[in-house]
């Protein structure tokens, strides 16, 4: 479908459209399942293009992460309609949506997508590698001697969101609450002897693998212990999106036989406070969630 000037007609994608738009991410080989789509469309705003048969040919999404940051993701075009400008059109629609709200736009760009985003004004923050891990072998990874790991409890949610904000650079209590209920057995928190929260990890089941993340912690030793504990709490395979700067975590993943066939670049259109520093970010929620 097109306007009289030949440009595509952009439609809102509603939460009730999740079943119909999901095939786009399946065709792309991505890991999202229906729960992911329903959450994203309910918490954010979806924009897409329909064909003459009222099937979705393309999609995009804006997910608010507080008043000052919004995440752009799920820019997908079905194979037969690629290279016609649909993806760029939807991307620009998402950028306009973010600007209208007065927020900064963020996204995780693939190596193919980055050359598209740079001319639009996006700039690099840091590089991320996607790791595929089948299972965990070898000895357990202990936390620091002053830290204890325990299963996450719903009563931890408010404290977790408060802890997360300055370390992740995102305001995402709704997202964290959603993830905490998706796969409770993979959710763990780390506490110091004083009872202070010093880290956490959440995760979710995906279409082809379990996604571990976000994992936020005071230090890499705690972050690694949380991720290792999560990976032994349920059966694999797993997907983790890890900032490249965490060398000890990368070495552990390699020792476990994990492979990293894909890389991303975290980018923003403007400056978002604290988002450019992954010191305490050991696994992302995923490129679709920020």
- 141-148 mean pLDDT: 97
**Which of helix, strand or coil describes residue 92?**
helix
Per-residue pLDDT of 234-272, as tens digits, reads 999 999 999 999 999 999 999 999 999 889 999 999 999
**Which of helix, strand or coil describes residue 148?**
strand
Torsion, CA 252, CA 179, CA 276, CA 255, rounded to 10 = 10
According to CATH, what is the number of the domain 11-102?
A: 3.40.630.30
27's tokens: 């065709």
Q: Please report how the helices 247-255 and 220-231 are oriented relative to each other, as an axis angle in degrees rounded to 10.
A: 30
* Domains of the chain by residue range: 11-102, 130-283
Report how far residue 158's alpha carbon sits from residue 225's, in angstroms, rounded to the nearest whole number.
23
4 pLDDT band (50/70/90 cuts)?
very low
Per-residue pLDDT of 180-234, as tens digits, reads 999 999 999 999 999 999 999 999 999 999 999 999 999 999 999 999 999 999 9
Q: What is the DSSP letter of 8?
A: B
**Fold match flag (11-102 vs 130-283):** yes
Per-residue pLDDT of 69-117, as tens digits, reads 999 999 999 998 888 789 999 999 999 999 999 999 999 999 989 999 9
User: 130-283 is classed in which CATH architecture?
Assistant: 3-Layer(aba) Sandwich (3.40)
**Which of helix, strand or coil describes residue 181?**
helix
pLDDT computed for residue 85 by the predictor = 85
| Residues 186 and 203 sit within 8 Å (Cβ to Cβ) | yes
Quick check: 2 pLDDT over 70?
no
| Residues 262 and 110 sit within 8 Å (Cβ to Cβ) | yes
| Residues 240 and 253 sit within 8 Å (Cβ to Cβ) | yes
């Amino acid at each position: 479908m097109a306007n009289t000037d030949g440009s595509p007609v952009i439609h809102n994608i509603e939460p009730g459209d999740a079943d119909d738009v999901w095939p786009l991410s399946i065709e792309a080989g991505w890991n999202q399942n229906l729960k992911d789509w329903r959450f994203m469309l309910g918490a954010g705003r979806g924009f897409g293009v329909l064909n003459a048969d009222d099937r979705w040919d393309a999609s995009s999404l804006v997910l608010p992460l507080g008043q000052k940051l919004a995440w752009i993701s799920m820019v997908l075009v079905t194979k037969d309609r690629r290279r016609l400008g649909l993806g760029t059109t939807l991307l620009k629609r998402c950028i306009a949506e973010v600007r209208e709200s007065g927020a900064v736009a963020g996204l995780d760009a693939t190596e193919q997508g980055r050359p598209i985003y740079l001319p639009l004004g996006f700039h690099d923050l840091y590089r991320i590698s996607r790791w595929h891990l089948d299972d965990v072998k070898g000895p357990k990874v202990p936390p620091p001697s002053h830290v204890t790991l325990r299963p996450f409890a719903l009563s931890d949610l408010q404290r977790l969101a408060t802890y997360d904000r300055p370390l992740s650079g995102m305001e995402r209590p709704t997202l964290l609450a959603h993830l905490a209920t998706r796969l409770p057995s993979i959710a763990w928190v780390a506490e110091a002897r004083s009872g202070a929260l010093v880290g956490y990890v959440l995760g979710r089941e995906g279409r082809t693998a379990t996604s571990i993340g976000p994992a936020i912690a005071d230090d890499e030793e705690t972050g690694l212990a949380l991720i290792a504990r999560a990976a032994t709490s349920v059966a694999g395979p797993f997907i983790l999106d890890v900032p490249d700067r965490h060398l000890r975590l990368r070495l552990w993943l390699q020792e476990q036989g994990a492979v990293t066939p894909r890389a991303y670049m975290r980018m923003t259109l403007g400056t978002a406070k604290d988002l450019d520093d992954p010191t305490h970010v050991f696994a992302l929620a995923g490129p679709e969630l920020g």
